[in-house]
């Protein structure tokens, strides 16, 4: 079983729409969770960390459900510039604190 699983999409949504992505992780001992954004042929960039209590940053809201081992990302009022691949990332606490990446969910916001 993969460490991190995501629906690859693609999600095609109109501007202004609300879209949600989910991700599941397999290691119940995982301690840190992140959403990264990756534009085509570019490196991943940290979008936000995911805290146990849930957290919000502008139009972006992240939630963590430890019991069900899933993480979600909600994007409100989608902008064209939100088009990218969103990577769910989990730190599985193994030696050097490696990050495990999901395959990413592709979002395209349509005018």
Binding site for other proteins (CB under 8 A): 4, 32, 34, 41-46, 49, 87, 91, 95-104
Smallest gap from Cβ 89 to other proteins, in A, equals 9
Of the pair 12, 97, the CB lying nearest other proteins is at 97
Of the pair 103, 108, the CB lying nearest other proteins is at 103
3-state secondary structure of 106: strand
Contacts of 110 (CB under 8 A, 6+ apart): 12, 13, 14, 15
The helix (H) or strand (E) run that includes residue 60 is: strand 60-65
Smallest gap from Cβ 95 to other proteins, in A, equals 7
Smallest gap from Cβ 98 to other proteins, in A, equals 5
């Amino acid at each position: 079983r993969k460490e991190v699983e995501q629906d690859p999409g693609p999600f095609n949504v109109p501007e202004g729409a609300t879209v949600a992505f989910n991700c599941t992780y397999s290691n119940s001992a995982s301690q840190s969770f992140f959403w990264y954004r990756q534009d085509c042929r570019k490196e991943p960039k940290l979008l936000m960390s995911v805290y146990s209590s849930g957290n919000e940053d502008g139009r972006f809201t992240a939630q963590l459900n430890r019991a069900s081992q899933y993480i979600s990302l909600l994007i409100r009022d989608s902008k064209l510039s939100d088009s990218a691949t969103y990577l769910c990332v989990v730190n599985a606490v193994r030696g050097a604190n490696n990050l495990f990446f999901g395959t990413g969910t592709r979002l395209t916001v349509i005018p």
